[in-house]
A and B are shown apart, each in its own frame.
Chain A
Amino acid sequence: MSTIAAPRGGSLMATLASTDHKRVALRVMATALLFFLAGGVLALLIRAELYSPGYQLVGQDRYNEIFSMHGSTMIYLFVVPLALAIGAYFVPLQVGAAEIALPRLALLGWWLLVGGGITMWMGWFTQNGPGDTGWTAFDPLSDANHSPGDGMYLWIFGVMLATVSGLLLATCVLGTVVRRRAPGMTMLRLPVFTWSMLVTCLLVIVGFPVLLVAMSLLFVEREWGGVFDGSGGPINYQNLFWFYGHPVVYVMFFPFVGAVGEVIATFSRRRFFGYRAHVGALLLFSALSTSVWAHHMFATGQVTVKYFSLMSTGLIIPAGIEYLDLLGTMWGGRIRFGVPMAFAVGFILQFLIGGLSGVYVASPPLDYHVHDSYFIVAHFHYTLFAGSLFAFFAAFYYWWPKVTGCFLRTGLGWLHFALLTIGANLTFFPMFFFGYDGMPRRVADYSSEFTDLNRASSIGAAFIALAVLAWIANVVVSVARRESAPADPWGGHTLEWATSSPPPRHNFSDPLPPIRSFAPLLDARQRASEERAG
């Protein structure tokens, strides 16, 4: 137990050193959300620069730093840590554990994330600026000749620290699922969200060490050279990078689809439909996800395109099963269309646009044209922003009363949802068209034929900024003028709703209800209504 290292109260020491998984997870989330705001400011600078052709606001050199740091911040410092933090908070609760496994390791995970983020962002204060070779840093562009300066080194170390942080957090969450389940909680009674976190952690453990290898080799290449000069050449860096880079796509997807599954089941007042298929689909997803990395490399002409096209298109099966389960859960339910449900449905439809455009680019003859164009930018922003981020907000409005003991405001929630839906689609949908018509990604200047659609996209970004302000306002108002929330405000299905809001230090003060399925609280309600009826 970690009680020795858990000072009480709200002192600074308690804030920095508490090993309560809930506090650690909230700190990781707060850190990730600060980087979300920082990366979002960079995105607004990008859209401002692209409001017109030519250079107006930041210019060529700065622009390359800005888009590189935008992508790096959002992936390494925001979505991945956020996904793992949601798991670190809710997995112990959902499996009925008093504590996360290896709590000090989880605390170290937060510290390394803070260190990694600061390290990467310190690049702004170096002579040549921060890493400016995209979030991918392909060799040889990222070698010492083509990208000299300390900013690139800081970028490499920042990525490595954030990656180790992710590995530690995933280890703790995985260990909790494996070793800390309450009596009766068998593997096939793990809640929908916990299963998605379990598979997420497996992918972290498969993929993240390979990124550490790639970053180490990039460091050696920059210092001494000779790493990527062999017979394979720079393609080897890409193979290593994307062997991490594709599994990480699912690290940024599974936790969110799992959370949406919980939201939809709860708001449809219906048991999650197709639980075993969901588990099977997650396992199939993760198995395939280690054999699809080279679909990012079709245009190199140096990969076996048919194999990777087959594997990538095969992802239709698990993805289709997830969709069947989500719709099947709504079908026949009694759906309350609250703010969490609105974000969940937004996720379903918008992520689908990202997924279907993903099927499109899994076809090499189609990818040859749209690869590295704004079409791809549209594709992955529909999965990550219009998809995962909408799912995060669904989870945020769903779990906020549990975490804080107070409700968010419904009116501000709807405003947030409306602005974000308009903003996301206005920003990212036009990108499909000007990408298809020939605008490449990662450019500060573009041909004047793309001006109108770029303007639409930039105006959309302003809506997103307003949506984020509405969200922050909602958080501030809800904390400042508390409307207390009970232990189980929505009629939840899983164990986190069987304890107080917020949960006590060791999660459960009362005995747990019997666990006979993945939805123990729903079981109890159904039994009670049967007893009343019978």
Chain B
Amino acid sequence: MLVALVDTRKDFEDLSSTYLLVAIAVFAVVALGCLFSLLRFRAGRRGSPSRGEEPAWLPFAYGGLLAAVIVVLLVLTFSAQDRISAKADRPGLRVDVTAAKWNWRFDYPAEGISQIGGDTRPTVLVVPSDTDVRFRMTSIDVIHSFWIPHVRFKRDAFPKRYTEFDLSFSGTGYHTAGRCAEFCGLKHDQMTFNVEVMSPADFRAWVARKRSEVP
């Protein structure tokens, strides 16, 4: 079965712009309603305040309108959720992620290589572009969270538990930042990693070079 690549960034951007539009529209309506009321119904104008009460149907009609908005938002949310939580039958690359206070380790089991950082040198996650990458993640101590803002995705890493998810990185050749997002103690703010996205050919060359370095 051919499944489209999980594209968390695109799904996020599409969904986010819809939600943002709805939010701005609602804010505008309420703000204008307040402004209009404060001007039109200010004290000192002629007449006494209205004694009108809410007609019984109003909350139900209005609740129905809100329910319709909810249905639209949730249909969009659920379909995006299904797309980004899909897993490929045959991922193009497997990366094992190990989080620890306060660093990251990335192992490539099929390639037999590992990326390990140091105190002053964040670990580099190297991935081929436009490829389904299957991450399998755990933590050796407390809860951490694997966040790559560029792909608009994070997932927590729990001790004694493996979490799997697929990501893909579109475009060729760029660096971006990743980091721990779940507060994990003293040096949480330094628990970063770098992401290097390569074209598949460059990635193969990088793997070969890495393997030749291993004694």
Q: Chain A interface (Cβ within 8 Å of chain B)?
A: 60-61, 64, 133-134, 138, 140-141, 146-147, 229, 233-235, 268-271, 273-277, 280-281, 299-302, 305-306, 309-310, 313-314, 316-317, 320-321, 323-325, 327-328, 330-337, 345, 348-349, 352-353, 356-357, 359-360, 363-366, 368-369, 371-373, 437-438, 440-447, 526, 529
Contact = CB atoms under 8 A, between A and B. Distances in A.
B181 A309 contact: no
B159 A140 contact: yes
Given A60-B186, A440-B179, A334 B42 contact: yes
B43 interface: yes
B174 interface: no
Contacts, number: 233
B142 A328 contact: no
A353 B159 contact: no
B72 to A, nearest CB: 10
Nearest to A441: B183
B114 interface: no
Contact of A309 (B74, B141, B180): B74
Contacts of B183: 64, 133-134, 138, 141, 372, 441-442
Contacts of A327: 30, 33-34, 37
Contact of A349 (B34, B66, B182): B34
Interface of B: 8, 11-12, 15-16, 19-20, 22-23, 26-27, 30-31, 33-34, 37-38, 41-45, 47-54, 58-59, 62-63, 66-67, 69-70, 73-74, 77-78, 80-81, 84, 101, 141-143, 145, 147, 149, 152-156, 158-161, 163, 165, 177, 179-190
A205 B205 CA distance: 62
A220 B157 CA distance: 24
A301 B137 CA distance: 11
The 10 closest A-B pairs by CB, nearest first: A332-B50, A438-B149, A443-B189, A277-B59, A330-B37, A356-B23, A274-B54, A369-B152, A372-B181, A442-B183
Nearest to B151: A369
22 contacts: A138-B142, A146-B185, A234-B143, A235-B158, A269-B49, A270-B50, A273-B52, A306-B81, A321-B63, A327-B33, A330-B34, A331-B50, A332-B49, A334-B41, A349-B27, A353-B27, A356-B23, A360-B19, A360-B23, A364-B77, A372-B154, A440-B189
Contacts of A233: 158-161
A303 to B, nearest CB: 11
Contacts of B184: 141
B26 A356 contact: yes
A306 B59 contact: no
Given A133-B183, A316-B66, A327-B30, A299 B77 contact: no
Given A334-B44, A447-B177, 6 more contacts: A141-B143, A334-B41, A335-B43, A369-B12, A438-B149, A440-B147
A262 to B, nearest CB: 16
Contacts of B49: 268-270, 332-334
Contacts of A369: 12, 149, 152-154
Nearest to A325: B54
Contact of A313 (B33, B73, B154, B182): B73
Contacts of B26: 352, 356
Given A299-B145, A348-B30, A363-B77, A368 B8 contact: yes
B198 to A, nearest CB: 22
Contacts of A372: 145, 147, 154, 181-183
B181 A330 contact: no
A336 B43 contact: yes
B155 A299 contact: yes
A152 B78 CA distance: 40
A270 B158 CA distance: 55
Nearest to B44: A334
A437 B179 CA distance: 13
A457 B147 CA distance: 24
Chain A CB within 10 Å, residue with most, of B66, B77, B184: B77
A244 B168 CA distance: 37
A335 B66 contact: no
B142 A141 contact: yes
Contacts of B149: 369, 437-438
B19 A332 contact: no
B179 to A, nearest CB: 6
Nearest to B178: A438
A349 B30 contact: yes
Contact of B181 (A64, A271, A440): A440
Nearest to A323: B30
Contacts of A268: 41, 49
Contact of B51 (A366, A440, A445, A526): A526
Contacts of B153: 368-369
Contacts of B187: 60
A60 B189 contact: yes
Nearest to A443: B189
Contact of B42 (A138, A147, A335): A335
B66 A332 contact: no
A366 to B, nearest CB: 6
A273 B33 CA distance: 15
B88 to A, nearest CB: 17
Nearest to A60: B186
A314 B73 CA distance: 11
Contacts of B152: 368-369
Contact of A324 (B38, B48, B62, B190): B62
Given A274-B54, A369-B153, A335 B158 contact: no
A103 B108 CA distance: 66
A334 B48 CA distance: 7
A240 B52 CA distance: 45
A396 B20 CA distance: 34
A373 B208 CA distance: 37
Contacts of B147: 372-373, 438, 440
A333 B27 CA distance: 22
Contacts of A274: 53-54, 58-59
B59 A324 contact: yes
A334 B37 CA distance: 9
Nearest to B52: A332
Contacts of B155: 299, 301, 368
Nearest to A61: B186
B41 A332 contact: yes
A234 B163 CA distance: 14
B30 to A, nearest CB: 6
A222 to B, nearest CB: 14
